[in-house]
């Protein structure tokens, strides 16, 4: 027997349509408390298709809490009994965010096939690289065959073209077998426009706030108790039912929540409570551009208690220094001084003036906050895909600068994250692609994209058409590249850096006080001192001696040969980096 439940507080009647061997059967649902409806169907079981009909209408609606949408976001839902999947990860004890190296990947473009099962075939590559956890771009159900996933509408369901719910479970199970955790990227600040039926069921949205995507998700207006429960249950489902190890919350600065207990605090509390129940660490990392320590400060100190947050400032400082780009939000970055600030404090904007925003921005992070709570990167899906042509850093930087970027990222006190293919300097772009079928939506996306970049001098024919299937195909990784000499050498460099992060305790020390960054803006050198380890960087094009406070006795990694080290300095070629260990001070 299966019990069906639906929250539809404004409905006068609700009918449940269930498919069985004799055809469709309609069951009238009973009204319960606070707008909840229910029905028991003895014949329904795992694999049974069903849908809801409101107020005697003719339109069948999928279940807002559906786990399986085999016919897409507009089709009938299918029951899932999670106990039918046989897990092999019973000995998996999880991973902690502290000390980890993350790897962001998009299932649809990670392999030629674009499925969970095909991605399993590449997990050994990630294990050999030294990755601790993969962060999957959203895999919840979205319209069409391919897309980034940020216009999803099924917050519990797994995108069918990727392999559906069992495909995700197979992937997580296989990752755990290789010692790799799985982080799920989830979007609760908005839903996509195509296949979004939530407003027909109840007050899931409110017009008291307006967001870039239209009315805001209802987090504090009448009816919001059950909307919040809907979101909280979704977060826990990815962790409990699919055995994921953590969540990445998209753009939490877009949450509009005036309640005394913010939704973010509720999410953190419920996730940590589940972690205690399953006896393995579960964590939550948020994307936010507010530069507000409140996200990761403990609730006892007035914060939300999240485990970490993305640190765009560190990315901007690193990218602007290496690439020389200064347009848009990069206008506040680019100096070596700013890079040193980011590597020693995380936030660059700590309450000072932001030229890009035309106002002051952010506030300082308490110095006792562990540095690993900041997740940063040289590349990610936004920083590549939101460029006009989706060009990666390998299209902008030479090999020397790519190696410097990798060294500064993977030896930093922050939690580093790579974007798929970055480890070998992939030449394939990662572009913005969609597969909208709703009338007019694809045209609107295409024209909006062109208009956005026209303001920056791009012609309409220069910006890839998101709706063109070729844009999606171009964005798939070329797995023959790692076997080629230049790519293979860069891949070895990443492996060596991650290996050093494991081997040298100073490189995972989470204390900001352990990081020092002397630099010379004019000579263009920087030294990142992490205890007894020094990362010596020459950003100039000329060979030079970089002064060093200490006596180096070993150089476990260098991006180019021909360096020399002696008491008080390291001499190295232009656009290269040497990682050296230092003797302890005498006495």
Could you list the active site residues?
A: 250, 287
Is 284 assigned to a binding site? no
Is 446 assigned to a binding site? no
From the CB of residue 358, how many other CB atoms can be counted at a distance below 10 Å? Answer: 8
Is 250 assigned to a binding site? yes
d(CA 153, CA 116): 20
Is 79 assigned to a binding site? no
d(CA 423, CA 218): 41
Q: Considering only CA atoms, which of 364, 369, 373, 264 is closest in space to residue 310?
A: 373
CA 533 remoteness from chain centre: 30
Sign of CA dihedral 559, 561, 563, 565: positive
Q: Which residues contact 347 (CB under 8 A, 6 or more apart)?
A: 291, 311, 313, 362, 364, 365
Is 406 assigned to a binding site? no
Residue 533: beta bridge partners?
530, 581
Q: Which residues of 31-65 are buried (b: 16+ CB within 10 A; e: fewer)?
A: eeeebebebebeebeeebbbbbbbeeeeebbbbbb
Q: At what angle do helices 399-410 and 312-323 cross, to 10 degrees?
A: 160
- Residue 231 in contact with residue 266, Cβ under 8 Å? no
CA 545 remoteness from chain centre: 39
Is 251 assigned to a binding site? yes
Is 81 assigned to a binding site? no
DSSP code of 61? B
Which alpha helices (DSSP H) does 280-387 contain, by range?
312-323, 336-345, 381-385
List strand residue ranges (DSSP E) for 145-265, in order.
154-158, 181-186, 205-211, 214-217, 246-249
- Residue 497 in contact with residue 476, Cβ under 8 Å? no
Is 253 assigned to a binding site? yes
Is 140 assigned to a binding site? no
Is 18 assigned to a binding site? no
Is 210 assigned to a binding site? no
d(CA 48, CA 65): 15
Q: Considering only CA atoms, which of 227, 307, 224, 295 is closest in space to residue 264?
A: 295
DSSP code of 67? S
d(CA 541, CA 538): 8
Is 316 assigned to a binding site? yes
From the CB of residue 486, how many other CB atoms can be counted at a distance below 10 Å? Answer: 13
Is 382 assigned to a binding site? yes
Is 385 assigned to a binding site? yes
Specify the pairing of strand 353-354 against strand 308-310.
unpaired
Is 189 assigned to a binding site? no
What is the CA angle 315-318-319, rounded to 5?
A: 80
Q: Cα separations (Å) of 577 from 148, 150, 372?
A: 35, 37, 23
- Please enumerate, by residue number, every residue annotated as part of a binding site: 248-253, 312-316, 381-386
- Output the known binding site for substrate: 248-253, 312-316, 381-386
């Amino acid at each position: 027997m299966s019990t069906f439940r639906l929250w539809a507080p404004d409905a006068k009647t609700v009918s449940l349509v269930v498919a069985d061997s004799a055809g469709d059967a309609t069951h009238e649902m009973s009204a319960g408390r606070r707008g909840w409806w229910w029905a028991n169907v003895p014949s329904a079981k795992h694999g049974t298709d069903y849908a809801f009909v409101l107020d005697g209408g003719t339109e069948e609606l999928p279940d807002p809490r559906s786990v399986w949408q085999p016919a897409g976001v507009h089709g009938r839902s299918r029951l899932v009994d999670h106990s039918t999947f046989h897990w092999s990860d019973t000995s998996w004890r999880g991973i902690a965010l502290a000390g980890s190296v993350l790897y962001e990947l998009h299932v649809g473009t990670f392999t030629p096939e674009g499925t969970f099962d095909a991605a399993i075939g590449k997990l050994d590559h990630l294990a050999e690289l030294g990755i601790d956890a993969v962060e999957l771009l959203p895999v919840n159900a979205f319209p069409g065959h391919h897309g980034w996933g940020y216009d999803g509408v099924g917050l519990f369901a797994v995108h069918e073209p990727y392999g559906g719910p069992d495909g995700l479970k197979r992937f997580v199970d296989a990752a755990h077998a290789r010692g790799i955790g799985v982080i799920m990227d989830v979007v609760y600040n908005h839903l996509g426009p195509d296949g979004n039926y939530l407003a027909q069921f109840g007050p899931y949205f409110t017009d008291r706030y307006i967001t870039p995507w239209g009315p805001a998700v209802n987090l504090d207006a009448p009816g919001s108790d059950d909307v919040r429960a809907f979101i909280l249950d979704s977060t826990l489902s990815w962790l409990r039912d699919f055995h994921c190890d953590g969540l990445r919350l998209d753009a939490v600065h877009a949450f509009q929540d005036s309640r005394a207990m913010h939704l973010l605090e509720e999410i953190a509390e419920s996730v940590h409570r589940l972690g205690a129940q399953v006896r393995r660490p579960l964590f939550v990392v948020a994307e936010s551009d507010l530069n507000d320590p409140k996200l990761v400060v403990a609730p006892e100190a007035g914060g939300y208690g999240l485990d970490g947050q993305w640190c765009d400032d560190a990315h901007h400082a690193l990218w602007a220094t290496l690439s020389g780009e200064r347009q848009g939000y990069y206008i506040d970055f680019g100096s070596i001084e700013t890079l040193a600030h980011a590597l020693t404090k995380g936030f660059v904007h700590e309450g000072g003036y932001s030229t890009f925003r035309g106002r002051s921005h952010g506030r300082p992070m308490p110095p006792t906050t562990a540095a690993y709570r900041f997740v940063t990167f040289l590349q990610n899906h936004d920083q590549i895909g939101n460029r006009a042509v989706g060009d990666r850093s390998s299209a902008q930087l030479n090999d020397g600068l790519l190696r410097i970027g990798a060294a500064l990222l993977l030896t930093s006190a922050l939690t580093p994250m790579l974007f798929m293919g970055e480890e070998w300097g992939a030449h394939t772009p990662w572009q913005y692609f969609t597969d909208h079928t709703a009338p007019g939506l694809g045209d609107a996306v295409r024209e909006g994209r062109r208009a956005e970049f026209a303001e920056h001098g791009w012609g309409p024919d220069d910006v890839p058409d998101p709706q063109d299937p070729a844009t999606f195909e171009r964005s798939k990784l070329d797995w023959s590249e790692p076997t080629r000499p230049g790519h293979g050498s860069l891949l070895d460099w990443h492996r060596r850096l991650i290996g050093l992060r494991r081997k040298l305790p100073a490189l995972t020390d989470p204390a900001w006080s352990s990081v020092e960054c002397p630099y010379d803006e004019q000579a263009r050198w920087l030294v990142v001192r992490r205890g007894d380890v020094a990362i010596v960087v020459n950003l100039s094009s000329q060979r030079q001696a970089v002064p060093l406070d200490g006596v180096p006795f070993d150089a476990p990694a260098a991006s180019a040969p021909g360096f020399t080290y002696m008491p008080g300095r390291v001499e190295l070629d232009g656009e290269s980096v040497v990682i050296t260990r230092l003797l302890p001070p005498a006495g």
